[in-house]
Amino acid sequence: MTPAFHDRDGGLFAEDVDLTALAEAVGTPFFCYSSAAMTDRYKALAAVLDPLGVDILFAVKANSNQAVIATLAAAGAGADVVSEGEIRQALAAGVPARRIVFAGVAKTAAEMAFALEAGIGQFNVESFAELTMLDAVAREMGRVAPVGLRVNPDVDAGTHEKITTGRKENKFGVDIAAAPAFFAAAADMAGVDARSMSLHIGSQITQLEPFERAYRGLREMTLALRAAGVTIDHLDLGGGLGIVYADETAPDLNQYARIVRDTVGDLGCRLSVEPGRFLVGNAGILVCQVILVKPGETRDFIFTDGAMNDLIRPTLYEAYHAIRPLRPRGPAQARPADIVGPVCESGDYLGKGRYLPTLEVGDLVAVMGAGAYGAVMASTYNSRPLAPEVLVAGARHHVIRPRLSYAELLARDSVPLWLTDQTVDHGA
Ligand code: LLP
């Protein structure tokens, strides 16, 4: 099988596509995804989880391009979504409604109604207020909403502050101790059918121990609820499996599966997981072009046409993304370089203090690990057009989202007549 991103003829390829040629064809910056990389990741996870009957739901928030969702759906994935927009993306990509789970910490009544109408598989509810609201919306529509309670197990996932979700001080879920009260309340509501619990403790988790603790808590609560006469027949184990960006140790999948089996495998529940980053993170890169080189006192500044508006992870989470020239001119230099964008903020950088081969204006660089939380978090800050996304499969490529044109960028605004038509009375 062709490796996803690899060197061939002195330059970086995505499967059988020469990225230098692709850059010429689509312009820079652009995101490039490898179908094989996504499918392989899915298969690796399915290989250990299928025997346990665990359903894999792709967390669409990581990359909601319909072509990406469709690639994973073709491999067998359902979808974990957090908004009406993501439900629409998943449906448009061909995910069957019943394989869509609607998570999200504060759904609106309109979103609930849309999801009920579409016939999605489950709502993961995160508060009593939300449960009451969903019950009302469903009754009004003459429906019964399948519900799972998202519990907060108060487990520290040991990940970055901004992407940890399973501690008491986070806004997510209902304290696991309140689960009996939640199911008791749900039992009296005609619009909901609550038989499931879910949790998600954070993202980019590289230690398996937090999963084990959280799943054990879920097991204990399932047994306690059953003892109290509550039916629990499904558990959603969340996402969060970390990947290698730099020198992290990737969690061992067999060990992860063992933990699932040992903690919740014997409960007779249907099980599901919601990986996002794991499936797509290293299946994508951001290709940028060097537009200016500025020697500094202690380091060089390499300006690229890609910036924080394209990939905000370094700025927002101090995240590390490996950066390399598509075609290295030689060995790494002794002098460090900051790879920065043209956006007017000191926080606008893609990588700091990197030891890279010499880079000259016009050279192309790849920012690795940009398949998850890259394009989906991009903005037009500084009126920069959104970068295109390109999907590669073997020797084929397809622009799965074109670059936003300046015409489209300008057309998004509307200037009122009183500012443009001098004959209008300004009322001053
Ligand atoms: N399920 C739920 C309920 C979630 O909140 C998330 C992610 C996932 C699944 C998928 O997590 P994953 O498998 O991708 O770790 N923008 C941040 C990550 C935010 C994650 C939010 N929730 C980043 O770039 O690191």
Q: Could you tell me where the beta strands, DSSP code E, fall in 3-134?
A: 5-8, 11-14, 17-18, 30-34, 54-59, 78-81, 100-102, 122-125
Give Cα separations from 50 to 76, 100, 121 (angstroms).
11, 18, 19
- Domain 35-280, CATH 3.20.20.10 — does that match? yes
Which of the listed residues 274, 286, 311 should we mutate to test ligand 1's pocket, taking the one with most ligand atoms within 8 A of CB?
A: 274
Distance CA(191)–CA(146), nearest Å, equals 9
Task: Report, at the CATH architecture level, how domain 5-32+281-411 is classified.
Answer: Beta Barrel (2.40)
Write the CB contacts of 324 (distance below 8 Å, at least 6 apart in sequence): 12, 356, 365, 366, 368
For residue 45, with 0-12 CB atoms within 10 Å meaning exposed, 13-18 middle and 19 or more buried, which class applies? buried
User: In terms of pTM, does the model score above 0.75?
Assistant: yes
In tens digits, the chain (428 residues) has pLDDT values of 567 999 999 999 999 999 999 999 999 999 999 999 999 999 999 999 999 999 999 999 999 999 999 999 999 999 999 999 999 999 999 999 999 999 988 999 999 999 999 999 999 999 999 999 999 999 999 999 999 999 998 898 877 777 667 677 777 788 999 999 999 999 999 999 999 999 999 999 999 999 999 999 999 999 999 999 999 999 999 999 999 999 999 999 999 999 999 999 999 999 999 999 999 999 999 999 999 999 999 999 999 999 999 999 999 999 999 999 999 999 999 999 999 999 999 899 999 999 999 999 999 999 999 999 999 999 999 999 999 999 999 999 999 999 999 999 999 999 999 998 877 666 65
Q: Which atom of ligand 1 is nearest to the CA of 278?
A: 13
The residues that are catalytic are: 344
Sequential DSSP letters for 176-210: GGGHHHHHHHHHT-TTEEEEEEE---BSSB--SHH
Question: Of the candidates 303, 417, 311, 319, which has an alpha carbon nearest to the alpha carbon of residue 360?
Answer: 303
What stretch of H or E contains 400?
strand 396-401
List the domain boundaries for the chain. Answer: 5-32+281-411, 35-280
Q: Which residues contact ligand 1 via a Cβ below 6 A? A: 59, 61-62, 80, 103, 163, 165, 200, 203-204, 238-241, 274-278, 313, 317, 372-373
- Tell me the β-bridge partners of 82: none
Pick the atom of ligand 1 nearest to 373's CA. Answer: 24
Report the alpha-carbon distance of residue 186 to residue 123 in Å, rounded: 13
Quote the ligand 1 centre to 240 CA distance (angstroms).
6
CA–CA distance, 152 with 174 (Å, rounded to integer)? 5
Q: Please enumerate in sequence order all residues whose Cβ is within 8 A of that of 108, keeping only pairs 6 or more positions apart, or say none.
A: none
Residue 261's alpha-carbon distances to 52, 227, 234, in angstroms, are 7, 21, 14
List b or e across 214-240, with b for residues whose CB sees 16 or more CB atoms inside 10 angstroms: bbbbbbebbeebeeeebebebbbbbbb
**35-280 matches 5-32+281-411 in CATH topology:** no
Burial class (CB in 10 A: 0-12, 13-18, 19+), 46: middle
